[in-house]
Amino acid sequence: MNKSLTDTVTPLLFGERDAIRMTDHRVLVETMNKVRPGVNAYDPIGSPDAFSCKFSSFKLESMQLTAIAMSPATIDRTGVHGATLMIPLSGGIKYSVEGRPFHYGRGQGSLYLPENSGKFVGGSDGIHHLLLQFESQMLEKTALAMLGLPANAAIDLQLEDPRLTPLTVAGQPFGVVLQQLGTI
């Protein structure tokens, strides 16, 4: 039996026990639209028989986290509902968000997409990443609290435009730090 990409990548950040696995890209579109609406298509690159995906998702009070590993595929999305930070754990993706190109992968930082950022299309060479979908107002409130500022202080986190976001913790890519925490 051939091992798929999703069988060989590091285990999902939240573990494998509750992961949803699938080999039909059409079923993935239906399933992901229940978790993260706006997917028009995931199309396998290469043979559709080689397509595989696994993901696990859970929702906190003001944030949804989705860990996903997928074999090479193209994606077509109408947009995102809620601000989204995409943190690559392995592989890479090339996206076009409203015609503006972005390329990211492990060690290159993350891709931030503001709420209702518009249509994006692209492809991956096989990806394993973490998607954090959150309410921007909650992020602003949290930033104010962490900076010790009053709740009514003005703060501009520049959350209006899609962008690559370098993320490092003690000199290490944030994705690596998350994977290490996930194994604990």
pLDDT, tens digit, for every residue of 98-108?
A: 888 988 887 77
User: Model confidence at 23, in pLDDT bands (50, 70, 90)?
Assistant: very high
Give the predicted TM-score (pTM) of the model: 0.83
Residue-level pLDDT at 167:
77
Dihedral through CA 54, CA 2, CA 181, CA 72, nearest 10? -60
Give CATH for domain 5-179.
2.60.120.10
DSSP 101-167: EEEEETTS-EEEE-TT---EEEEEEEEEEEEEEE-HHHHHHHHHHHTT--TT-------SS-EEE--
Given the structure tokens 């991956």, which residue do they identify? Answer: 124
Q: Provide the phi-psi class of 99: left if phi over 0, else alpha when psi is between -120 and 50, else beta.
A: left
Dist CA 128 CA 39 (whole Å): 18
pLDDT of residue 9 exceeding 70: no
Q: How many CB atoms lie within 10 A of CB 68?
A: 25
Query: For residue 11, what pLDDT is reported?
Result: 77
- pLDDT confidence band for 158 (50 / 70 / 90): confident
**Domain-wise residue ranges, the chain:** 5-179
Q: Return left, alpha or beta for 82; rule: phi > 0 is left, psi -120 to 50 is alpha, else beta.
A: left
In a 3-state reduction of DSSP, which class is residue 38? coil
What is the percent of the chain with per-residue pLDDT over 70, rounded to a whole number?
Answer: 90
